Chain A
Amino acid sequence: MAYIVSSKVNQFRYSTRLLFSHLLRHGRPSTLLPPFSSHLQPLHHPHQVGNQGYGNGSLGLCPRLLSSSSSSDASAANVSGEKPALDSDQSAKDGSGKERESGSGGGQDQKSDAGKSVRGGPVSWLSFLLLVLTGAGLVFYYDREKKRHIEGIRTNTEAVKQGPSAGKAAIGGPFCLINHHGKHVTEKDFMGKWTLLYFGFTHCPDICPEELQKLAAAVDKIKEKAGIETVPVFISVDPERDTVEQVGEYVKEFHPKLIGLTGSPDEVKNVARAYRVYYMKTAEEDSDYLVDHSIVIYLMSPEMEFVKFFGKNNDVDSLADGVIKEVTQHKK
Chain B
Amino acid sequence: MNQSMRIAFRNVGRQKKRTVLLAGAVGLGFFIITLSGSLLGGIAASARKNFSAAFGGHLYFSGSVVSDRGSEIAVMADPGPLESVLAAHARDIASIHRRSGTSGTLIFGTRELRQTLTGVDFGREPDFAGGLRIVSGSLDGLSEPGALVLPEDAAERLGVRTGEAVLFRASTVHGQRNVTELVLIATYEGQSSFGVSAGYAGLGTVNSLLGLGPEEFQTLNVWLRDDRAIDAAAGRILADLAGKVPVEPREDEDPMKRMAERLLGGSGPRSVGDGEGWEGTRYGLTTLNDLMAQFTSILSIADALSFWVFLILLSITMVGILNSYRMVMVERTAEIGTLRALGLQKGGVRDIFLWEALFVSLYGALAGLAAALAVMALSRAAVLPGGTVLSFFLDSGRLPFSVDPIETVRNLVLLCAASLAAVSFPARAAARLPPAAALRAAY
A in complex with B: no
Write the residues of chain B forming the contact surface with A, with a CB cutoff of 8 angstroms.
none
Q: Give the B-binding residues of A (Cβ under 8 A).
A: none
